[in-house]
Amino acid sequence: MMHLHHEWLGAADALDSLVALGARLRVHAQAALARLSRGEAPVGFVPGPATAHEVVGDGPLARLVRYRGRGPAQRGAVVVVASLINRYYVLDLLPELSVIDKLCGRGFDVYVLDWNAPGADGPERRFDDYIDGAIAGAARQAGGGAPVGVLGYCMGGTLAAMFAARHPGLVRWLTLLGTPIDFHASGRLAEWTRPQWFDADLLVDAYGNMPPWLMQSGFKLLNPVDALSKLMRLHQTAGDEQAIRQFVALESWLEDNRAFPGGVYRDYIRGLYQDNALIRGEFRVGDQPIDLKRLVAPLLNVVALRDHICAPPASRGLMNHVGSDDKRLLEFDTGHIGLTTSRRAHERMWPTVISWMEDRSAT
């Protein structure tokens, strides 16, 4: 294996951040033009996370961000694990579309892992650095020794499920959103990453870490018509200030990504997408295989029926493999990102999810 370029990877991460800032400005400009063409004033700047928070930890892999719970009920701590490549604030996009704010409003103390860009160490990072290191550390800090609720989204859900199986004593309950577990059932991404088409080793040798632009171009190819459809919708909804703010917030978030740490990416593609080792109980983290039967915490598995990134069967597959007696599959008619950002999900799905969490939390 070649390791040519580690010293450049920090510069690549800085460039990614600049590109994300540029994209945020471009999205604002597009929206402003659409509004002005309707004779309406542009919407204000949408900066990123919507709710007040504080940084309570800063490690090599992630910052730990705390959102304080409000109200009379004390429901305990929730640790949110987002995907390594996306910024967590899709769960705190706008005040009216913030999952995190909803949780705080019901008395949960929310701790979020805001993953750092991987930099020069990325090609050497492994799953255990994240699961036994960052996530376990966050759970211990958030719960002060007591078990915590864990909410995982997308690939963050895969990490959260592995964490719950490896550290059952630290988990009070586990909620997963659009989480791939049975990777061979995950649709076109599984097809595209078959060993005959895709060489993860060559990619990591070439780039060190998986760059966001390359990752995103793969996701965009899943629905190539979408770029034009979005512009059309932008024009159609330009008169609706709330819809445009949502467009700006979501599109800016979609362009704000981290590189995938090369070492984890190699294992993710080979072990999970190509070998489907997690569902077979053969995926090794550290020196131990992950046994999903050791995931015994109460489980709520939320599946988006129109998810094109994690096809529903890839999530449903988990239900028959966990050791939890208290487990529930909740299916909702939306897309992968709609789980956290659609108004319909916020109105109809999240009350059910939060009520499930409340029933299993301290009061």
Partner 1 sequence: MRADLPDAGAFQRLFAVWEKSASAMADGASRNARVLELGAAVMRAHLLWARAMQASLEAWTCAYRSTMEAATEAATEAIDQ
**Residues in the site for partner 1, rule: CB under 8 A?**
2, 4-5, 8, 37-39, 188, 191-192, 196-199, 202-203, 205-207, 221-225, 228-229, 232, 236
**Which is closer to partner 1, CB of 141 or CB of 237?**
237
Q: Minimal distance in Å, beta carbon 192 to partner 1?
A: 7
Which of 45/192 has CB closer to partner 1?
192
Which helix (DSSP H) or strand (DSSP E) does residue 302 occupy?
strand 299-304
CB of residue 41 vs partner 1: minimum separation in angstroms? 13
- Residue 345 identity (one-letter amino acid): A
54-58 and 76-81: which strand pairing?
A: unpaired
Q: Nearest to residue 203, comparing CAs of 110, 122, 323? A: 122
- Shortest Å distance, C-beta 124 to partner 1: 17
31 contacts 42 by C-beta, under 8 angstroms: yes
Asked whether 363 and 74 are in contact (CB, 8 A), the reply is yes
**Region of 145 on the Ramachandran plot (φ > 0 left; ψ -120 to 50 alpha; else beta):** left
In the complex, the smallest distance separating the C-beta of residue 209 from partner 1, rounded to whole angstroms, is: 13
Q: Which is nearer to partner 1, 146 or 231 (CB)?
A: 231
Q: CB of 4: closest distance to partner 1 in angstroms?
A: 5
d(CA 182, CA 99): 26
What is the token pair recorded at 313?
Answer: 């069967």
How far is the C-alpha of 219 from the C-alpha of 239, rounded, in Å?
29
- Phi and psi at residue 121, in whole multiples of 5°? -85, -10
Nearer to partner 1, 135 or 314 (CB): 314
Beta carbon of residue 223, minimum distance to partner 1 (angstroms, whole number): 7
Q: Cα-flanking dihedrals φ and ψ of residue 356, to 5°?
A: -60, -45
Q: How far is CA 257 from CA 17, 20, 354, in A?
A: 8, 7, 28
Smaller CB distance to partner 1: residue 222 or 330? 222
With respect to partner 1, which residue has the nearer C-beta, 150 or 210? 210
Shortest distance, CB of residue 216 to partner 1, whole angstroms? Answer: 15
**Cβ 225 to partner 1, closest distance in Å?**
5
Question: If 0-12 CB within 10 Å is exposed, 13-18 middle and 19+ buried, where does residue 98 land?
Answer: buried
Task: Kindly tell me which of 39 and 145 has the beta carbon lying closer to partner 1.
Answer: 39
**Which CB atom, from 6 or from 126, has the smaller least distance to partner 1?**
6
Q: Please, what is the angle between helix 212-222 and helix 6-37, to 10°? A: 50
98-104 LR contacts (CB < 8 Å, sep 24+): 98/50, 98/51, 99/340, 99/346, 99/350, 100/51, 100/67, 101/50, 101/51, 101/67, 102/346, 102/350, 102/354, 103/67, 103/69, 103/78, 103/354, 103/357, 104/51, 104/67, 104/68, 104/69, 104/70
Cβ distance to partner 1 smaller for residue 146 or 214: 214
Q: Cβ of residue 239: shortest distance to partner 1, in angstroms? A: 9
